[in-house]
Amino acid sequence: MSDSNTRTRERTNESEQSDEREGLDCPECGGTLISDTEHGETVCSDCGLVVEEDSIDRGPEWRAFDSREKDQKSRVGAPTTNMMHDKGLSTNIDWRDKDAYGNSLGSRQRQKMQRLRKWNERFRTRDSKERNLKQALGEIDRMASALGLPENVREMASVIYRRALDENLLPGRSIEGVATSAVYAAARQAGVPRSLDEIADVSRVEKSEIARTYRYVVRELGLEVKPADPESYVPRFASALELSDEAENRARKLLRNAKEQGVHSGKSPVGLAAAAVYAAALLTNEKTTQAAVSEVADISEVTIRNRYHELLEAEQDIPL
């Protein structure tokens, strides 16, 4: 016990001495001391005097030349994440009944592993709150995948749901409803919004419940969610319709002109974006139809026609 304490104190003293040396000046010229971790030396940046050598390298003892090799050689787990109910800190037992060399396990070993999986799963979700969180985060991941949302949005949605659970906002509301509203809010906060219809298509709850739960969660958690910008929908619509960069930039210009003229006020941002993309395609002589834009944007052709005329009128009203 005393040897262990002694070693701990020695390591602490070494690190403290190293930190002290970092802050000291060179004994020869008074220059700044820096640590050269590659060579294990502390040297003066001005005169080059080696003040200390053979310091301990606390990095890995192996080298990797690409990300795949780095993953293979690394002996540490993945970073913690809010997208898993236990933040990724628990043990995962693979479902394949094979050993480290890829050989199949014997019958007794398979039975043993099955029992271990069962108990491991029970220990991972010890109470109702963790079971709730596990179900909700799985639902968030499913919807985000279906909507093509990036990982940062999934992480943000998971944090919003955790806050709602901690604030006791779930009683009287379904897990799926709160999870869906978290995805909707996170997508808007991250600047990659999805329309309520798109969210409802991948959710297991009705559109009206999503809207009601979303307003409740935003109000109770004090989330700062800005109104959706029509321009944020343009890249996705243009990409789905295989339009050029010229058409995409033209659509953005149409929307900026509409904002200056106040045409966007009270209008659906999805409808404005869809009409701008359609108008830009015609103005740049690229082939597309109202039906194709309607299918991509999940909005009616009538809305596209109405917004289309309004955008062109706003364009004409701008003084040259």
> Which residues carry a binding-site annotation?
26, 29, 44, 47
- Side-chain half-sphere of 100: how many Cα atoms within 13 Å? 0
Tokens of 20: 């002290």
Sheet holding 50-52, edge to edge: 33-36, 41-44, 50-52
- The CA angle 213-219-221, to the nearest 5 degrees, is 95
Q: What is the dihedral of CA 180, 154, 164, 136, to 10 degrees?
A: 60
**Longest CA span, the chain:** 85
User: Are residues 280 and 254 in contact, defined by beta-carbon separation less than 8 angstroms?
Assistant: yes
Q: How far apart are the C-alpha atoms of 266 and 251, rounded to whole Å? A: 19
Residue showing tokens 């395609």? 281
Q: Phi/psi of residue 303, each to 5°?
A: -60, -40
Six token digits for residue 262? 């106040």
Residue 32, classed as helix, strand or coil, is strand
Residues counted in the chain: 320
| DSSP strands (E only) in the chain | 33-36, 41-44, 50-52
- Give the whole-angstrom CA distance, residue 152 versus residue 160: 12
Binding site listing for Zn(2+): 26, 29, 44, 47
The whole-angstrom separation of Cα 224 and Cα 221 is 9
